[in-house]
Amino acid sequence: METPWKKKKATIPDFLERKRSGPKITMMTAYDCAFASLVDSVDIDMILVGDSGAMTTLGYETTIPVTMEEMLFMARAVSKGARNTFLIGDMPFLSYEVSVERAVENAGRFIKEAGMDAAKLEGGRRTAPVVQAIVRAGIPVMGHIGLTPQSLSQLGGFRVQGKDVDSARAVVEDALALQDAGAFAIVVEAVPAPVGRMITEAIKVPTIGIGAGPDCDGQVLVLHDMLGLFERFTPKFVKRYVSLGAAAREALAQFAAEVRGGSFPAPEHCYTMKAEQAEELRETLVHAGLLR
């Protein structure tokens, strides 16, 4: 008999080893129990409960309005569905900028209240002191540099970062600052592929790329983008592996047509009762004045 595949939750030392000798690290976002358990059932190393859930799941226009409570709500659901995958909670806007104390407390809530293994936050040199304080409190931190959606207006919108030598150097310096602050891995978003490669070469902790080329130590995609469930816009770096949105729309339209046309529910979807019992029930209800 074939032995069923048993997934083993990866650890931070595993990720550091994977940078040295491969294979590449895989990360996917998830925001609820159902999809988290799907991700957990395949060989994907990390789940990020991203603040992208603000847009994919909670219906906000951007990631800015999502609150710590909403992030914890999604993270709790994910941890129930994914017991064998390394889990990361994404710190929402203003949960780590107001004070270092508040940042440590909020990062800790992901671990204590939502079953996450680590916290992620955006920013490089700017947030390095906060990363250092959270790591000192015993909470693993993943950094996020390049295009950082919580600073969209400062960055001038969804734009590739590090396109010239000076700005690319600044992104490399961000990566080094996060490494020195103790981050165990760094998401690098929307930079030219050569910049992704040089950041990866410059630091000892793994880079997880999204629109940062093939040479990062790992790759991440937003679940709803790759499944075709988020259709408002599709960044260049997204590969859509399946069109679940289109398939869902077709199924929903078919349900509505079948209900209206009387073909659903069919006999195989119905519970039965003996004909004489049904007749007796009718007579009882009519006699009681409950049915005419």
Q: Is residue 51 close enough to count as binding ligand KIV by CB under 6 A?
A: yes
Q: Is residue 210 close enough to count as binding ligand KIV by CB under 6 A?
A: yes
Backbone φ, ψ for residue 207 (5° rounding): -100, 140
Spatial separation of the C-alpha atoms in residues 140 and 129, rounded to whole Å: 14
- Pick 97 or 258: Cβ nearer ligand KIV: 97
Q: Is residue 90 close enough to count as binding ligand KIV by CB under 6 A?
A: yes
Q: Is residue 217 close enough to count as binding ligand KIV by CB under 6 A?
A: no
- Pick 130 or 210: Cβ nearer ligand KIV: 210
Active site residue 189: yes
- Pick 2 or 228: Cβ nearer ligand KIV: 228
- For residue 111, give both structure tokens: 């671990």
The neighbour count for residue 252, using CB atoms within 10 Å, is: 10
Choose the binding region for ligand KIV from 5-13, 45-53, 191-199, 259-267 (rule: CB under 6 A).
Answer: 45-53
Beta strand residue intervals within the chain, DSSP E: 25-29, 46-49, 86-90, 118-120, 141-146, 185-189, 207-210, 218-221
Backbone φ, ψ for residue 116 (5° rounding): -80, 160
- The Cβ-side half-sphere exposure at 230, using a 13 Å CA radius, reads 23
Q: Is residue 187 close enough to count as binding ligand KIV by CB under 6 A?
A: yes
- Pick 72 or 220: Cβ nearer ligand KIV: 220
Catalytic residue among 61, 189, 231, 258: 189
Spatial separation of the C-alpha atoms in residues 123 and 151, rounded to whole Å: 9
Residues designated catalytic: 189
Q: What is the binding site for ligand KIV (CB under 6 A)?
A: 29, 48, 50-52, 90, 144, 187, 189, 210, 220, 222
